[in-house]
A and B are shown apart, each in its own frame.
Chain A
């Protein structure tokens, strides 16, 4: 696939060792455009939108953020933990400002579905409909998101 210089830059940013050690593509050999397109189809199938998912992820991270040194139970069935790390991480799509380094881990206590995401995931889902490549540490599969959060 022919890439514009901007797309090439984004693609490079997603590779291992550019913005993070493991990158954003995992073992996925698809181009990031294809990953996004396939996940858009997945969203259609399960009847959710990227905005709706981002809203839900942000809802939990906002509630867990003040509980900075432990886990909290939200809405009686979600066990959530927010771990903060020093610094900010950049968006591979080139959006400026950087996003807090942190990891939010959620367990749905009713069905044991588990999700782990970062503040950057929330931005990439809402703005780019990018859920990361399969095998990436923070890949968020829309079906698992549905099981865990909706």
Chain B
């Protein structure tokens, strides 16, 4: 890369995208600015906003004149951003939302046109991958329009992903960025970005606020997802060191669920008064509940907030629907529903799924975020063991964080922040530990983008860098060699390819296992990850594991094309794992008999 002038952070969010940038100046620390993103806000009207809502609308060919959908840089199809979101309120079948959650949905082909799921016949559907690409292209164009002399691809670009993204979702994000013209972009986990933003804001003072031995729990509750991470503060050669020691599972629960839940509560109340609501009114209610919720959760003096769902016709006074949301309802539905007081050994409740269901996102069955949090801390109780300076005192039944950082739109509600802190504190005091330090000061709407931009500077110069490497160990499944038993699949062994915490720009030691692969056609492997097995090294074989330890990921696929072999021949290969400088895991198959090697793909469903 030539000399980059800017460090650019892109928060490719589930509900909003934000781009933050900093001029790289080695003399002075610069603050992170936010790019105004031009987008359609009405037919023929383009406005710069600080966020690009992550929505795509696929209009009918006869719905608009082409100039009504023009952007400064192109005619736009699909409609992206605020206007797409507005259109989708009234025509939901043509709206793509939460594409990012689909991008990490391992049960679907993420590169095939499936969105919107309920689209009418005339719609050419887009893949989750395409949708991510469109957002990135939009951001790319917006940048280029404002900085024509500083091509974005020549800047230091950092794109954030959820910490819980699996290798395939990360690779797809990188591929989408490359197709959007950003092939030098680097990935960063969102909770890390939030912590970087906090460090940038705190300046040198951060070293006073946290100290060696601290474990920071980052709770990021966005519009659609909840992301959890643990960061440890240790000391190395006299300097403070930050290490990301654990990440949580992808939890599809966020602020939008809360707004919709409140809307249904109010709708029920209205139904009891004899008003049956239509779907558009529920949408309107959810919209009204969002701001009412923020008022009630931040201002303890307000007892109730009136809600009005405006009529669709022009008679506003005659046709509007009135209701109210009370403090008690918000307390009962949101605080007790999503953040109940639970013991430290709580586990998310599971209920049986219906045998038949439509293709949809795997929404959480248990809405209680505090239970997910409890499960995460239990699972990660040994996460700091390998770190120098942390005692491996395992009398504790769960990981004890000492500080907490909140991020995401939901963190604007003081009462939710307070409730989560109280619940974790009650767990800590049940095992005779002190309460949490609450780290504050970040702007929850922009922290991820700003933190990413800050991280870009850190990569180029000095400043504290959070270490961590991969948040999981990766395994490939091998069928055990044993006599066939009718009716029993041969038992599988898991063979470790990449250890936990593998750092960027490193390779795993080549495991000696040789695999036989058929040449000329795709060969598939079972693929597993573990977020808890920190001790396994490449080459470790497991013949037994519990369901909590190893999670099966989408199969990985390799196709060998070679002049040296005839199609149908078998080649002997070793698998090699590495993490490139951009932060994605790569697997290659190395021919043991020649210097051929092949790239292994994580995304097989196409």
| A and B associate | no
Chain A residues with CB under 8 Å of chain B are none
Q: Which residues of B contact A (CB under 8 A)?
A: none
